[in-house]
């Protein structure tokens, strides 16, 4: 059951998180493993909700209207179409392992009960981004299975469903991340074991006790006689740099610390050149990890940007401004062969122009 504090200002703050040719995948040899990470993006600007002033006498009416507007933006972003673009890119490359962040699960309750103090959670699924992505991959003959998932933010809010009747629904957003692995390879070619997931102990907290959960998931991988751990992480946003850094330290002392080599990927919300005011990126190389993109592109330190499209995915001239999505690696036997940043354009003349406000990061490793 979801608690009654979902209508408080702190619960609202918990929602804040936030035709071109497809490139051909680089040539591979028998010892290569390809990986990919991409933030799927819910499709609306949650910041519009967090910007509301809960001390304003008209806060509740504003909340109802704003949540409805953001929900409308999410619907207008056409999640199935955007996820088709992600699936197209994955199917064109067929990486053995794919990590996804912000794999949203959107549910509604109609009529809602939160506004009257009810606690029944919304259960009617509108979009399950993870299920949609896996199904669209399978429709193209790209067969992947979910090897591990992590549950993160889970928030339910009321919204104005009909301005004429003043009907109010509840909408529930559950944030997740996941690791997908190919399920169509010959027996013994790729094996995963020990799926793990967790939430960081260091969280963004509010006076009422609400905590914004972020987390990670991981699997141990055996491929062509080589072993490594694969970890997907999603750390706190740039407006809380100290919390973000503490979460990275937890990650490095926990699932990313292993006897075998480790590939660590995800959306870290920390710019490599600190243009967003964060410093958590530096902690990862300091722990012995290498940034695959930076290793293979040493002459362009300010390049490889991965985040910054507008919330409506509609502005054709607004480009990326930060590099916050990474593929790191550590341990003997992992040699990066290539690393690419891929802007996921839909090829449409009208929004959504992109599948997500992030780029995907793809990398290949030779396993020595």
Burial of residue 363 (CB within 10 Å: 0-12, 13-18, 19+) is buried
226 forms beta bridges with 223
Measuring CA to CA, how many Å separate 85 from each of 244, 292, 349, 351, 359? 30, 24, 14, 13, 12
Average pLDDT of the chain is 90
What's the CA gap between 240 and 266, in Å, rounded?
18
Bridge partners of residue 227, in order along the sequence: 222
Q: Determine contact, residues 170/156, Cβ cutoff 8 Å.
A: yes
CA pair distance 55, 64, nearest whole angstrom = 15
Strands (E), the chain: 32-39, 97-101, 105-109, 124-128, 144-162, 167-182, 190-199, 204-205, 211-212, 215-223, 226-234, 262-267, 290-291, 325-330, 334-342, 360-367
Q: What is the pLDDT of residues 218-232, one digit of tens each?
A: 999 999 889 999 999
DSSP string for 234-273 = EPPPTT-HHHHHHHHHHHHHTTT--SS-EEEEEE----TT
Question: CA dist 180 to 12, 62, 95, 338, Å?
Answer: 31, 39, 10, 20
What CA–CA distance (Å, rounded) separates 174 from 335? 36
The token pair at 194 is 């020990």
pLDDT per residue as tens digits for the range 96-143: 999 999 999 999 999 999 999 999 999 999 999 999 999 999 999 999
Q: What is the CATH number of domain 30-367?
A: 3.60.10.10
pLDDT at 27: 54
Which of 358, 1, 351 minimizes the C-alpha distance to 172? 1
Assigned token pair, 103: 């794999």
* Start-end of H helices in 77-186: 79-93, 129-139
**What integer pLDDT is reported at residue 196 of this predicted model?**
97
Sheet holding 262-267: strands in order across? 190-199, 215-223, 226-234, 262-267, 325-330, 290-291
Q: Tell me: the pLDDT tens digits for 273-316?
A: 999 999 999 999 999 999 999 999 999 989 999 999 999 999 99
- CA dist 227 and 223 (Å) reads 6
Instruction: Please state, in angstroms and rounded to a whole number, the distance separating the CA atoms of residues 40 and 193.
Output: 25
User: What is the three-class DSSP state of 25?
Assistant: coil
* pLDDT value at 149 more than 90: yes
Q: What burial class does residue 62 get, using C-beta atoms within 10 Å of its C-beta: 0-12 exposed, 13-18 middle, 19+ buried? A: middle
Cβ-proximal residues to 181 (8 Å cutoff; 6+ apart), any chain: 96, 97, 98, 144, 145, 147, 190, 192, 219, 221
d(CA 342, CA 246): 29
Q: Is the peptide bond before 111 cis (omega within 30 degrees of 0)?
A: yes
Q: Residue 331 gets which letter from DSSP?
A: S
Give residue limits of the domains in the chain: 30-367
- How confident is the model at residue 30, as a pLDDT? 52
Residue 11 banded pLDDT, cuts 50, 70, 90: very low
- In tens, the pLDDT along 35-83 reads 999 999 999 998 888 778 888 899 999 999 999 999 999 999 999 999 9
């Amino acid at each position: 059951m979801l608690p009654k504090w979902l209508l408080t200002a702190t619960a609202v703050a918990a929602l804040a998180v936030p035709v071109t040719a497809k490139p051909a995948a680089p040539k591979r040899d028998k010892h290569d493993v390809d990986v990919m990470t991409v933030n799927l993006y819910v499709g609306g600007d949650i910041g519009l909700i967090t910007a509301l002033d809960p001390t304003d006498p008209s806060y509740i009416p504003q909340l109802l209207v704003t949540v409805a507007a953001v929900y409308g933006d999410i619907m207008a972003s056409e999640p199935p179409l955007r996820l088709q673009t992600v699936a197209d890119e994955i199917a064109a490359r067929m990486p053995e392992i794919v990590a996804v962040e912000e794999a949203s699960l959107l549910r509604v309750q109609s009529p809602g009960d939160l506004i009257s103090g009810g606690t029944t959670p919304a259960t009617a699924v509108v979009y399950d981004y993870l299920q949609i992505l896996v199904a669209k991959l399978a429709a193209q003959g790209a067969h992947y299975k979910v090897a591990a998932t992590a549950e993160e933010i889970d928030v339910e809010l009321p919204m104005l469903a009909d301005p004429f009747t003043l009907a109010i629904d509840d909408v529930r957003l559950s944030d997740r991340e996941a690791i997908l692995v190919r399920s169509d390879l010959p027996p013994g070619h790729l094996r995963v074991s020990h799926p793990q997931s967790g939430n960081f102990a260091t969280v963004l907290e509010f006076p009422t006790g609400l905590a914004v959960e972020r987390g990670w998931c991981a699997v141990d991988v055996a491929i062509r006689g080589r072993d490594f751990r694969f970890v997907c992480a999603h750390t706190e946003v740039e407006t809380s740099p100290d919390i973000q850094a503490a979460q990275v330290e937890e990650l490095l002392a926990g699932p990313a610390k292993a006897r075998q080599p480790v590939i660590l990927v995800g959306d870290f919300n920390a710019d490599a050149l600190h243009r967003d005011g964060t410093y958590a990126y530096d902690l990862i190389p300091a722990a012995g990890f290498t940034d695959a993109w930076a290793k293979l592109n040493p002459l362009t330190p300010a390049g490889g940007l991965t985040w910054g499209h507008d919330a409506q995915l509609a502005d054709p001239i607004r480009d990326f401004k930060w590099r916050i999505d990474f593929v790191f690696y550590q341990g003997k036997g992992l040699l990066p062969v290539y690393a690419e940043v891929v802007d996921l354009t839909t090829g449409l003349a009208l929004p959504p122009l992109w599948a997500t406000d992030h780029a995907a990061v793809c990398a290949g490793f030779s396993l020595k």
